[in-house]
Amino acid sequence: MTENPKTKLVPRTTGAVMIVGGGISGMQSALDLANSGFRVYLVESSPAIGGKMAQLDKTFPTNDCSMCIVSPKLVEVGRHRNIELLTHSEVVGLEGEAGNFKARILQRARYVDIDKCTGCGLCEIVCPVTQISHFPEQPEAGQEKKKLRAKDKALITGSAPPRPTSLSAWTFRVDEEKCSKCGSCHRACLHGAVSWQKKEIAAIDQDKCTGCGACFVACPEKFQAITVDNAPDLDLSLGAAIHARSREIKKELKGEGNGVCIRCGLCAMMCTKVMGIGALAMVSEGIQAGRDICQVCGACASVCPVNFLDVPALTDKKNRPLFDEFNEGLNVRKPINIFYPQAVPRVPVIDEQSCVQLNTGACGTCKTVCGVGAIDYTHVEKEKEIAIGSVIFSPGIEVFNPRQRGEFGYGLYKNVVTSIEFERLLSASGPTSGTVARPGDDKHPKKIAWIQCVGSRDHTCNRDYCSSVCCMYASKEAYIAREHDSSIEPTIFYIDMRSFGKNFDTYITRAKENKVRYVRAMVSRVFEDPVTGDLELRYIDENGDKQSEVFEMVVLSVGIQVSEGSKRLAETLAIDVDGFGFAVTDGFSPLTASRPGIFVSGAFNGPKDIPETVSEASGAAQAASVCLADARGTLLTEEVLPQERIAEPGEPLRIGVFVCHCGSNIASVVDVAAVTEYAKTLPNVVYATHPLYTCSQDSVENIKGLINEHNLNRVVVSACSPSTHEPLFMSTLRQAGINKYYFDMANIRDQCSWVHPLEPQKATEKAKRLMRMAVANVSQAEPLSELEFDVESSLLVIGGGVAGMTAAVEAAKQGFGVYLVEQQTELGGQVNNLQRSWDGQDFRPFLSSLKEQVLSNEKIRVLTNSAVVDQSGFVGSFESEVMTPSGGTRKIEHGATLIATGAREYRPDLYGLNEFDNVVTQTDFETMIVEDPVRASSWSNIVMLQCAGSRCSEHLDYCSRICCNQAVKNSLRLKELNADARIDVLYRDMRCYGLSELDYRRARMQGVNFISFDPEKSAPDISTDGKTVEVLAYDPSIRMKVSLKPDLLVLSTGIVPRDNEELATMLRVPRNKNGFFIEAHAKLRPVDLASEGIFMAGTAHGPKNVTETIAQAHAAVARVATILANKKLKLSGVFSTVHPENCAVCLTCVRACPYGIPVINEEHTAYINPALCQGCGICVAECPAKTITLGRFEDRNINAKLQSYTGVAHATEEGGV
Amino acid sequence: MLPCTGRIDESLLLKAFENGADGVMVIGCLEGDCHYVNGNIRARSRVKRVYSILEQIRIGPDRIRMYNLSAGEGAKFAAFTNEFVSQIENLGPSPINVARKQAARESAQEVQAT
Q: Tell me the domains of chain A and their CATH numbers.
A: 11-108+386-396+563-631 (3.50.50.60), 122-133+149-314 (3.30.70.20), 400-557 (3.50.50.60), 655-779 (3.40.50), 789-902+1058-1130 (3.50.50.60), 906-1055 (3.50.50.60), 1136-1190 (3.30.70.20)
Cβ(A163)–Cβ(A258) below 8 Å:
no
Residue A413 amino acid letter: Y
Predicted confidence (pLDDT) at residue A7 exceeds the cutoff of 60: no
Predicted confidence (pLDDT) at residue A1081 exceeds the cutoff of 90: no
CB pair distance less than 8 Å for A1202 and B74: no
DSSP code at position A1079: E
CB pair distance less than 8 Å for A1193 and B78: no
Cβ(B42)–Cβ(B65) below 8 Å:
no
Nearest to A1181 among B7, B16, B78 (CB): B7
Task: Considering only the C-alpha atoms of chain A, give the largest distance between any 2 of them, rounded to a whole number of Å.
Answer: 120
Residue of A272, A274, A279 lying closest to A296 (CA atoms): A279
Predicted confidence (pLDDT) at residue A793 exceeds the cutoff of 90: yes
Task: State residue B72's pLDDT score.
Answer: 66
CB pair distance less than 8 Å for A1178 and B7: yes
Q: Report B:20-79 residues touching A (Cβ under 8 A).
A: 20-21, 33, 35-39, 42, 46, 70-75, 78
Nearest to A1154 among B19, B36, B74 (CB): B36
Angle CA A313–A316–A319, to nearest 5: 75
Question: Is some CB atom of chain B closer than 8 A to the CB atom of A341?
Answer: no
Residue A32 amino acid letter: D
Residue of A132, A130, A88 lying closest to A111 (CA atoms): A88
How many angstroms separate the CA of residue A455 from the nearest CA in chain B? Answer: 31
Cβ(A1004)–Cβ(A959) below 8 Å:
no
d(CA A1188, CA A181) in angstroms, rounded, equals: 84
d(CA A399, CA A835) in angstroms, rounded, equals: 36
Query: What distances in angstroms separate CA A642 from CA A395, A726, A734, A859, one per listed residue?
Result: 41, 20, 8, 39
Question: Is some CB atom of chain B closer than 8 A to the CB atom of A1185?
Answer: no
Question: Is some CB atom of chain B closer than 8 A to the CB atom of A1205?
Answer: yes
Mean pLDDT, to the nearest integer, of B8-19?
93
Cβ(A351)–Cβ(A47) below 8 Å:
no
Q: What are phi and psi of A1114, to 5 degrees?
A: -60, -45
CB pair distance less than 8 Å for B46 and A1181: yes
Question: Is some CB atom of chain B closer than 8 A to the CB atom of A1176?
Answer: yes
d(CA A364, CA A952) in angstroms, rounded, equals: 66
The tally of CA atoms less than 13 A away on the side-chain side of residue A144 is 5
Residue of A756, A780, A1178 to mutate for B, most B C-beta atoms under 10 A: A1178
Count of CB pairs separated by less than 8 Å, A with B: 84
CB pair distance less than 8 Å for A1190 and B46: no
Task: State residue A1's pLDDT score.
Answer: 41
What is the residue-averaged pLDDT of chain A?
Answer: 93
Task: State residue A9's pLDDT score.
Answer: 67
Contacts of B46 by beta carbon, 8 Å cutoff, 6+ apart = A1181, B8, B9, B10, B13
**Considering only alpha carbons, which residue of chain A is nearest residue B45?**
A1182
Residue A538 amino acid letter: R
Residue of B84, B54, B87 lying closest to B69 (CA atoms): B84
Cβ(A895)–Cβ(A1123) below 8 Å:
yes
Cβ(A1198)–Cβ(A781) below 8 Å:
no
Instruction: Transcribe A34-68 into DSSP letters.
Output: HTTT-EEEEE-SSSSB-HHHHH-SEETTTTEEHHH
CB pair distance less than 8 Å for A1181 and B78: no
Residue of B34, B36, B101 to mutate for A, most A C-beta atoms under 10 A: B36
Beta bridge partners of B68: B28
CB pair distance less than 8 Å for A1205 and B21: yes
Instruction: Transcribe A534-555 into DSSP letters.
Output: -EEEEEE-TTS-EEEEEESEEE
Q: Report A:680-739 residues touching B (Cβ under 8 A).
A: 722
Nearest to B73 among A428, A1206, A1210 (CB): A428
Q: What are phi and psi of B49, to 5 degrees?
A: -65, -35
pLDDT band at A804 (very low <50, low <70, confident <90, very high): very high
pLDDT band at A1208 (very low <50, low <70, confident <90, very high): low
Predicted confidence (pLDDT) at residue A821 exceeds the cutoff of 60: yes
- % residues pLDDT > 90 (chain A): 84
**Considering only alpha carbons, which residue of chain B is nearest residue A1205?**
B19
pLDDT band at B70 (very low <50, low <70, confident <90, very high): confident
Residue of A430, A418, A438 lying closest to A331 (CA atoms): A430
Higher pLDDT, A381 or A725: A381
Residue B21 amino acid letter: A
Q: Is the dihedral of CA A198, A203, A206, A207 positive or negative?
A: negative
Predicted confidence (pLDDT) at residue A608 exceeds the cutoff of 90: yes
Query: What distances in angstroms separate CA A922 from CA A245, A834, A915, A1052, A1054, one per listed residue?
Result: 75, 10, 16, 6, 9
Predicted confidence (pLDDT) at residue A8 exceeds the cutoff of 80: no
CB pair distance less than 8 Å for A68 and B42: no
Task: Name chain A contacts of B38, Cβ cutoff 8 Å.
Answer: 1154, 1178
CB pair distance less than 8 Å for A1193 and B7: yes
**CA-atom Rg of chain B in angstroms:** 17
Residue of A1005, A1015, A1012 lying closest to A953 (CA atoms): A1015
DSSP code at position A592: B
CB pair distance less than 8 Å for A1208 and B73: no
Task: Name chain A contacts of B9, Cβ cutoff 8 Å.
Answer: 1180-1182
As a whole number of Å, the end-to-end CA separation of chain B is 46
pLDDT, one tens digit per residue, over A353-412 is 999 999 999 999 999 999 999 999 999 999 999 999 999 999 999 999 999 999 999 999
Q: Is the dihedral of CA A206, A208, A212, A218 positive or negative?
A: negative
Q: Report A:747-806 residues touching B (Cβ under 8 A).
A: 755
pLDDT, one tens digit per residue, over A994-1047 is 999 999 999 999 999 999 999 999 999 999 998 999 999 999 989 999 999 999
CB pair distance less than 8 Å for B4 and A1177: yes
Residue of B19, B24, B70, B82 to mutate for A, most A C-beta atoms under 10 A: B19
**Considering only alpha carbons, which residue of chain B is nearest residue A1188?**
B7
**Considering only alpha carbons, which residue of chain B is nearest residue A427?**
B72
Question: Is some CB atom of chain A closer than 8 A to the CB atom of B14?
Answer: no
Task: Name chain B contacts of A1174, Cβ cutoff 8 Å.
Answer: 36
Predicted confidence (pLDDT) at residue A231 exceeds the cutoff of 90: yes
Assign residue A768 a region (left: φ > 0; alpha: ψ between -120 and 50; beta: otherwise). Answer: alpha
pLDDT band at A543 (very low <50, low <70, confident <90, very high): confident
CB pair distance less than 8 Å for B12 and A722: no
Mean pLDDT, to the nearest integer, of A669-678?
96
Mean pLDDT, to the nearest integer, of A459-475?
96
pLDDT band at A867 (very low <50, low <70, confident <90, very high): very high
Q: What are phi and psi of A516, to 5 degrees?
A: -90, 125
Question: Is some CB atom of chain A closer than 8 A to the CB atom of B3?
Answer: yes
pLDDT, one tens digit per residue, over A478-489 is 999 998 899 999
Question: Is some CB atom of chain B closer than 8 A to the CB atom of A428?
Answer: yes
As a whole number of Å, the end-to-end CA separation of chain A is 46
**Considering only alpha carbons, which residue of chain B is nearest residue A1193?**
B2
A831: exposed, middle or buried (Cβ count in 10 Å: 0-12, 13-18, 19+): buried
Strands of A266-329, DSSP E: 280-283, 286-290
CB pair distance less than 8 Å for A1178 and B9: no
Nearest to B36 among A434, A1174, A1182 (CB): A1174
Task: Name chain A contacts of B37, Cβ cutoff 8 Å.
Answer: 1154-1155
Predicted confidence (pLDDT) at residue A552 exceeds the cutoff of 70: yes
Mean pLDDT, to the nearest integer, of A289-301?
95
pLDDT, one tens digit per residue, over A106-132 is 999 999 999 999 888 999 999 999 999
Question: Is some CB atom of chain B closer than 8 A to the CB atom of A869?
Answer: no
Predicted confidence (pLDDT) at residue A2 exceeds the cutoff of 50: no
CB pair distance less than 8 Å for B19 and A1202: yes
Task: State residue B29's pLDDT score.
Answer: 86
Higher pLDDT, A646 or A978: A978
Question: Is some CB atom of chain B closer than 8 A to the CB atom of A1199?
Answer: yes
d(CA A346, CA A66) in angstroms, rounded, equals: 18
Strands of A213-285, DSSP E: 226-229, 280-283
Lowest-confidence region among A433-447, A620-634, A635-649, A1149-1163: A635-649
CB pair distance less than 8 Å for B7 and A1195: no
CA–centroid distance for A920 within its chain: 45
CB pair distance less than 8 Å for A1154 and B19: no
d(CA A1148, CA A1055) in angstroms, rounded, equals: 41
d(CA A490, CA A478) in angstroms, rounded, equals: 6
Cβ(A802)–Cβ(A1106) below 8 Å:
yes
pLDDT band at B114 (very low <50, low <70, confident <90, very high): low
Question: Is some CB atom of chain A closer than 8 A to the CB atom of B82?
Answer: no
Instruction: Please confirm whether the linkage preceding A345 is cis (ω < 30° from 0).
Output: yes
Query: What distances in angstroms separate CA B94 from CA A738, A762, B9, B88, one per listed residue?
Result: 42, 21, 21, 9
**Considering only alpha carbons, which residue of chain B is nearest residue A1173?**
B36
Q: Are strands A280-283 and A286-290 parallel, antiparallel or unpaired?
A: antiparallel
d(CA A247, CA A270) in angstroms, rounded, equals: 14
- ipTM (interface pTM): 0.95
Query: What distances in angstroms separate CA A264 from CA A162, A242, A876, one per listed residue?
Result: 10, 10, 69
Lowest-confidence region among A7-11, A877-881, A991-995, B49-53: A7-11
pLDDT, one tens digit per residue, over B39-54 is 999 999 999 999 999 9
Question: Is some CB atom of chain B closer than 8 A to the CB atom of A1152?
Answer: yes
Residue of A775, A743, A703 lying closest to A1133 (CA atoms): A743
Rounded (10°) angle between helices A470-484 and A504-513: 40
Mean pLDDT, to the nearest integer, of A1208-1214?
42
d(CA A853, CA A847) in angstroms, rounded, equals: 10
A86: exposed, middle or buried (Cβ count in 10 Å: 0-12, 13-18, 19+): buried
Task: State residue A757's pLDDT score.
Answer: 86
pTM of the model: 0.89
pLDDT, one tens digit per residue, over A167-201 is 999 999 999 999 999 999 999 999 999 999 998 99
pLDDT, one tens digit per residue, over A572-584 is 999 999 999 999 9
Task: State residue A83's pLDDT score.
Answer: 97
Predicted confidence (pLDDT) at residue A3 exceeds the cutoff of 70: no
Task: State residue A509's pLDDT score.
Answer: 95
Residue of B4, B18, B25, B49 to mutate for A, most A C-beta atoms under 10 A: B4
Task: State residue A632's pLDDT score.
Answer: 95
Cβ(A898)–Cβ(A1101) below 8 Å:
no
CB pair distance less than 8 Å for A1154 and B38: yes
User: A460-470 burial, b if ≥16 CB within 10 A, otherwise e?
Assistant: ebebbbbbbbb
Mean pLDDT, to the nearest integer, of A234-247?
95
Q: What are phi and psi of A520, to 5 degrees?
A: -80, 95
